[in-house]
Amino acid sequence: MAEIIKSLRLLLFALLILGLFVMLLRTPQLGRLFYPYPYRQTIEKYGMEYRIDPLLVAAVIHTESKFNPEAVSHKGALGLMQIMPSTAHWIAQQLQLGPLTKEQIMEPETNIRLGTWYLANLTAEFNGRLDVVIAAYNGGRGQVGRWLARGVWSGSYADREAIPFPETRQFLFKVRTAYQRYQELYR
């Protein structure tokens, strides 16, 4: 009997500690440690210019690079927003910026400008469908367009398991999760 009481006390104590930990995780101060907002001024500047929610941009950066401006993916995506050089050059042409070097693409202000413009461009192409925009940012606009046209994916977050690329499914989940946290912490 003494062993049962001891086990119950230990279980109760563990549940109490777990409850306190969960409460602590929900505080804005701790939440901001896990979801920081560096480059806020630049993100908000280009978010306003291109009419994209800056918190969505922050969520994409958080997911793509964890705000590491030196990030380079195994596929060659560069900087905070993990932009492929070919995409960066295309965006630079659209914005009439002239040719960009790898160093320029990785520079935080330029990278945020390019990535935010690209999110705005995808938003226009996909009629503001947030989940489709996020998936296209990762999986490519042409690929996502084909999935939608062929009925492979409905474009709905609830139907994300139908997305053929596991990386894009995960990206959509991570960005949506981060976006929700950024809205809770910084809205």
Same domain membership, residue 44 and residue 28 = no
Q: What is the pTM of this model?
A: 0.87
DSSP code for 157: G
Same domain? 92 vs 174: yes
pLDDT tens-digit series, residues 14-62: 888 877 777 766 678 888 999 999 999 999 999 999 999 999 999 999 9
Whichever domain contains 138, its CATH number is 1.10.530.10
Q: Which domain holds residue 20?
A: 1-34
Domain count, the chain: 2
- In whole angstroms, what is the distance from residue 96 CA to residue 76 CA? 23
- What six digits make up the tokens of 184? 């809770």
Residue 6 sits in the same domain as residue 72: no
Quick one: 13 and 98 in the same domain?
no
Same domain for 8 and 81? no
Do residues 96 and 168 share a domain?
yes
Q: What is the mean pLDDT of residues 78-87?
A: 98
pLDDT tens digits for range 122-179: 999 999 999 999 999 999 999 999 999 999 999 999 999 999 999 999 999 999 999 9
The catalytic site residues sit at 64
Task: Kindly state whether residues 69 and 106 are assigned to the same domain.
Answer: yes
